[in-house]
Structures are given as C-alpha cells and as structure tokens.
Chain A
Amino acid sequence: MAEPVLEILELRKTFGALKATDGVSLTLMPGEIHALIGPNGAGKSTLIHQISGSIRPNSGTIRFLGQDMAGLDMAARARLGLGRSFQISSLVQEFSALRNVMLAVQARQGSSFRFFRPVMGDPTLTEPAMAMLERVGLAGRAHMPAAELSHGERRQLEIAIALALGSKAFLFDEPMAGMGPEGSKSLTKFLDGLRHEAPILLVEHDMDAVFALADRISVLVYGRVVATGTVDVIRNDPEVRRAYLGEAA
C-alpha cells in the first residue's frame, strides 16, 4: 500500500472539560477523497484547524508527506502544500478575485519581499491566477472585489486559491455550505476530478455530495472517530445510523 499523504495519530485537544478531539487517528491516501462527517459540535472544524495549524493539539501527531507538523505554523504548513478552504469564506475583501488568487501564486513563488515591480503588470502572477479562476468558472468575475461576490462564488474563489498554491493535499471545510443545488452539483463534479491532482479531506454536511464523492468516510461523534469505511460500510453501520443518521436502531 502506498504511503499516506496525511497521517493523524492519536490527536487530542480539550477546551476546558470539553474533549473536542479525543484520540483521533486517520489517514488520507493519494488520490482519495476522505469525507469527515458528524453532527454539529462533533469537532470536525477543530480537527481541520489542528491539521492546518491554526489550533495546537494537546497531544498526538500530524504527519504530512512524512514530515511531523509539530512546531510549524499555518503559513509554514501552507508552504509545504497543505491547502485549505474555510468554513466561513476567508478572503481579502477589498482585493479583486484575481488579486486574491495572485496572492497565492506569489506565495507559491516564494517571493513576497519584492518592493518595486508592480504586480498588476506581472504576467508570472496574473496568468496563472487567471487560469485558476477559469478552472473554477470564475474568470468572468476576475475583477470583482471579493466582498461583492455571491456566497457561492466566494466558495469557488477559496478553491481557486487552494489550487493556485499547488497544494499536495486539500482540506475543505464545508465547501458546499449555503450553495444552491446547481452549485453543489457542479462543485461535486469539480471535486471529483480534483482528487487525482491531490487528495482531499472533505468536511461536508451535504450527504448527496459525500456519498457521491467519498472513497472513504470517517464519522466523528464527540471528538471520536466511531467508524471509518467505504460509503457502503458507513451507510450500513448500525452505530453510525444510530449516532448520526438519526434512525432509531
């Protein structure tokens, strides 16, 4: 079996008495979409935050491409290729969609301490950024300030940014949230193709999308992984049905 791209071992995080992450272990394999589902408050976002580096775990190990992430901040992890989207869109509001993506291109080129050359006339920034916007279908809105984009467009823009980083793994936190059925459908199709570029750890409430996309599903309840398996296994797991899918056992 291939080496996992992302490996999480016995991760623990408490907030006071609350065990937000209670001994979570999971892996993300090359080419897969690994969906993380669970009821509200199960600790899905907290887990994503710990992987991306915005929250420090109390104990446990996160390995990305074989490297221990302990002690690396969010920016350092992003530079290694851990691309994320946020549960609530997090963009540079006054910048246009294009400039938001250009920032990621610039970061990937590793060159933010350049003080004189104007970015807007720099094809090494504008061209790759435009290409990413085209891929997610936002090219027509390239010059619109992020603040003026619709909710769905902002989600698309977040994904374009993650793509522009040349990420080696994606952490997507509810990318479908608030999208209409059409938007969800086209994003589902897009993510389906994306897995071959880099594996995706997907937190999502839209069960149609999860069942359509996931190679494996992990179910998180009260900070614990109660089950991991293929779509069929999870659908038929009695404990999952009881704890999450809301059916009487």
Chain B
Amino acid sequence: MTNASLMTRETIVNVLLALLLLAIPLGASAMGEPFYITLATRIAVLALAAVGLNIALGLGGLVSFGHAAFFGLGGYAAGVLATHAFDGVPLFAGIPGTDSMPIIWLVTVVVCGLLALPIGAISLRTTGVYFIMITLAFAQMIYYFAISWPAYGGEDGLSIYVRSAFPGANAAQPLPFFLICYAVLMTALGLFWLLRGSRFGAALQAARQNATRLSAVGIAPFNIRLVAFAVSAMVTGVAGALFADLNKFVSPSMMSWHMSGELIVLIILGGKGRLFGPVAGAMLYVLFEFALGGITERWQFFLGLILLGVVLFARGGLLGLLAGKARHG
C-alpha cells in the first residue's frame, strides 16, 4: 500500500510544519524575543495569502499574476476602515469605520469576491500566457488607482495607528496577534483540504488536467474556474488585511506585481497544489529573507538560484522532497 504510506508521510510532514510554526513564537515569547514572533507572524500571513493563490494555481492551474491586487485590497480594507474608526469620520453615507478584525475580514471577503468575479470572468476567456498577462494588467490598474488616490496616502501609503482588535484577545501584543493569524491560516488550510476533496475540487482539478474531458461529461470548466478564482481571491484578501495589521501600514506596494510574483514563488518553493506547500514555501522564503538578507542586500539573487534549483531538480518543491510525490485518489 504505497499510497497509504505516502499519505501518512505527507500527513506527518504537515503536522510537523504546523507544530514548528507554532513552536517558534511560543519559544521566542518565553525567551522574551518578540522579533521572532513577528517573523513567525509574517510566515503565517504570507502562507495564508499563498493558500488562497494555491486554490487557483495549484488546484485549478490558473497562474494568476495579479493576486497582489486582492492582497492589497485586503490591506486597504483594514487600513481605510481602521483610519476612519480612529478619526471618528464616517466612511460614506454615515457608515462608520471599524477596528474590529472580524468585520474587516468580512468586508475584505465581500470586496475581493465582488471584484474577482468580473476580473475572473474576463481573464478566464483566455488561457496560458494571455491569462497571466491579463490578470497582471488588472492588478496594475488597481495598483495605479491606489497610487493616485491621495485621500488614503497615495504613493506614500497609509499608517494604521492602532492595530485592529479581535474580541477576547489583546491583538496589540505580538503573541496573541500571531495566534490569531495562525488560527486563520489553519482554518484556511482546513477549507483548502475540504475543497480539494469535494465535488467542486474534483471538477477543478479535472479542469486543470483536461478541460475537454470535463466538458464532455457536461461540466462547464469556465464556471468552475470562475468560482475557484473568486474563492482564491477572498482568502488572499484576508491575508492582506492581516498583513496590514501586522505592519500597521498599508501601501500600494502590496499590490505591485512584485508581490504577485512573490506569492507564486512561495507556492513553487513549497510545492504547488500541496496542502502545506504554501506553509513550507513561506517558511523558506522568510528564512532566506532573514538569514541572507542579514548578510547581503542582494539576497534575492540567491533566492533566484534556489528557485532555479527547485524548478529544475525538485518540481514538487519542499513538500515533494519531504513527503514524496503528490497522491491522487
């Protein structure tokens, strides 16, 4: 039963990765090193953004080069709502801002979903390199829109003076905030796992591998992909909101194509389509950024070399190396 043993092995790797990510900040907190808590929070938030993209890219084969737009929209949702709440100025038509994370996330999910539907509906008329370019084009439109909107900082970005609140937790402190991010990440991973094994997931993965076959059994690939794109955008959006709260700052750079590329890199590093691929990828990425970034400003050159190695020699990414080939029931 090679299938069963592989599954167990991947499960063990996943559990270890989850525990490791939890252990770093707990240990750092015990030793009074809040910097490492922030580092772990950064991993959790980037991993969450990549879990979102992994739905479209990993399961659906939709290489969106514009997911930074949704990441940034989540960031601006957090920043704008918090700023209005802080200043006591209504948003519009008497609607007040808010500094409550659950409400910010809800707004993010709605905004990202509403925007992803038309963007997806247009982009999904194309495939391959055209899909990549059209998603990039949409993201750049939103990026330049953010730059040219002085009310919310324009190019300079927008500072969040007080981190938003979560009921029952002191989110201003590093460790509780990490735990919030970690819980959201685990929830998203649970959703990804359910989605992948569901009827929708079956259709989505079939659309990636053979869209003609999917049509021939009577399922229109377009509808499946569109819903996947929207769900994917929503998850990445929530990560953006957390990212803004982590840095207490949001700027158009969250929406730039660099960010879109970074999310794709995370997935490739970790293993695309794999449940914990984004987590492994984010861990590696932040580790490089921290370790190499301390030695040289050109750390991304070395990241590039590593990425090259992964693409050439370890297609399955870190998860592929640790847990073997992906299993398909």
A residues neighboring B (CB under 8 Å): 52, 54, 73-76, 78-79, 84, 86, 90-96, 99-100, 102-104, 106-108, 111-120, 125, 143, 145, 161, 165
CB <8 Å contact, B195 and A115: yes
Answer whether A75 and B219 are a contact pair too, CB < 8 Å, given A92-B205, A92-B213: yes
CB <8 Å contact, A78 and B200: no
CB <8 Å contact, A165 and B209: no
Asked if B203 is an interface residue, CB under 8 A from chain A, the answer is yes
Answer whether A107 and B328 are a contact pair too, CB < 8 Å, given A93-B210, A112-B224, A119-B199: no
Contact with A78, one of B195, B215, B224 (Cβ below 8 angstroms): B215
CB <8 Å contact, B198 and A107: no
CB <8 Å contact, A103 and B198: no
Asked if B202 is an interface residue, CB under 8 A from chain A, the answer is yes
CB <8 Å contact, B218 and A54: no
CB <8 Å contact, A115 and B200: yes
Bound Cα distance A119, B3 (Å)? 17
Answer whether A73 and B194 are a contact pair too, CB < 8 Å, given A92-B209, A102-B202, A114-B199: no
Contacts of B312-329 to chain A: CB distance below 8 A: 328-329
Q: What are the residues of chain A within 8 A of B199 when measuring CB–CB?
A: 106, 111-114, 117, 119, 125
**What distance in Å separates the Cβ of A235 from its nearest Cβ neighbour in chain B?**
33
Contact with A92, one of B3, B197, B210, B227 (Cβ below 8 angstroms): B210
Between-chain CB contacts (< 8 Å), 28 pairs = A73-B220, A74-B212, A74-B215, A75-B218, A75-B219, A75-B220, A78-B218, A90-B210, A90-B216, A92-B209, A93-B210, A94-B205, A94-B209, A96-B329, A99-B328, A102-B202, A103-B217, A106-B199, A106-B203, A107-B219, A112-B203, A116-B198, A117-B198, A117-B199, A118-B194, A119-B329, A120-B329, A161-B216
Asked if B214 is an interface residue, CB under 8 A from chain A, the answer is yes
Bound Cα distance A145, B202 (Å)? 14
Contact with A108, one of B195, B218, B227 (Cβ below 8 angstroms): B218
Q: What are the residues of chain B within 8 A of A100 when measuring CB–CB?
A: 213
Bound Cα distance A120, B7 (Å)? 14
Q: What are the residues of chain B within 8 A of A95 when measuring CB–CB?
A: 202, 205-206, 209, 328-329
Q: What are the residues of chain B within 8 A of A84 when measuring CB–CB?
A: 216
Bound Cα distance A119, B202 (Å)? 8
Q: What are the residues of chain B within 8 A of A103 when measuring CB–CB?
A: 202-203, 206, 213-214, 217, 219
**What distance in Å separates the Cβ of A92 from its nearest Cβ neighbour in chain B?**
5
Bound Cα distance A145, B194 (Å)? 22
CB <8 Å contact, A107 and B218: yes
Q: What are the residues of chain A within 8 A of B194 when measuring CB–CB?
A: 115-116, 118
CB <8 Å contact, B329 and A79: no
CB <8 Å contact, B197 and A78: no
**What distance in Å separates the Cβ of A29 from its nearest Cβ neighbour in chain B?**
24
Q: What are the residues of chain A within 8 A of B200 when measuring CB–CB?
A: 112-115
Contact with A along B293-320 (1 / 0, CB 8 A): 0000000000000000000000000000
Contact with B217, one of A73, A94, A107 (Cβ below 8 angstroms): A107
Residue of B nearest to A52 (CB): B216
**What distance in Å separates the Cβ of B29 from its nearest Cβ neighbour in chain A?**
35
Bound Cα distance A147, B210 (Å)? 12
Give the top 10 A-B pairs by smallest Cβ distance, nearest first: A78-B218, A79-B218, A118-B197, A74-B215, A75-B220, A107-B217, A107-B218, A114-B199, A104-B217, A94-B328
Residue of B nearest to A105 (CB): B217
Q: What are the residues of chain B within 8 A of A120 when measuring CB–CB?
A: 197, 329
Q: What are the residues of chain B within 8 A of A114 when measuring CB–CB?
A: 198-200
Bound Cα distance A76, B206 (Å)? 17
CB <8 Å contact, B198 and A119: yes
CB <8 Å contact, A90 and B218: no
Bound Cα distance A95, B221 (Å)? 17
**What distance in Å separates the Cβ of B197 from its nearest Cβ neighbour in chain A?**
4
Contact with B219, one of A91, A93, A112, A143 (Cβ below 8 angstroms): A112
Bound Cα distance A86, B197 (Å)? 27
CB <8 Å contact, B219 and A73: no
User: With A90-B212, A93-B210 given, can you name 17 additional A-B contacts, CB distance below 8 Å?
Assistant: A54-B215, A76-B220, A78-B216, A86-B216, A91-B213, A95-B202, A103-B202, A103-B203, A103-B217, A106-B199, A107-B217, A114-B199, A114-B200, A115-B201, A118-B194, A119-B198, A161-B217
Q: What are the residues of chain A within 8 A of B210 when measuring CB–CB?
A: 90-93
Bound Cα distance A143, B212 (Å)? 22
Q: What are the residues of chain B within 8 A of A115 when measuring CB–CB?
A: 194-195, 198, 200-201
Q: What are the residues of chain B within 8 A of A106 when measuring CB–CB?
A: 199, 202-203, 219
